[in-house]
Amino acid sequence: MNWDDVDPEGPSPEDLERFGDEWVTCPECGSAIYDQTEICPRCGHALTSSDGGKTPVWAIVAAVLALIAFVLVFVL
């Protein structure tokens, strides 16, 4: 890794030692960026998750069931 390409406001060397090297390459400009970055600080390319940011179906089902349980217990 070329440390000249690293964002100076990114994780410290101590954090990298503690949590591991979590860098990815920007698909637009090729800069090394922190893996949780949403926008590349070099070129401004928006990075998205592989699932497109969609809410998992299980989370929606759990929320609906919780709402139904709330209504049954506290409203009726």
pLDDT > 70: what percent of the chain?
72
Domain ranges of the chain: 3-75
Average pLDDT for the chain: 79
Mean pLDDT over residues 41-47, rounded?
A: 86
Which residues does 45 contact at the CB level (< 8 Å), separation at least 6? Answer: 26, 27, 28, 29, 39
More confident residue, 58 or 54: 58
Q: Which pLDDT does position 70 carry in this prediction? A: 92
pLDDT in tens, 2-32: 655 666 677 677 776 776 667 788 888 988 8
pLDDT above 60: residue 47:
yes
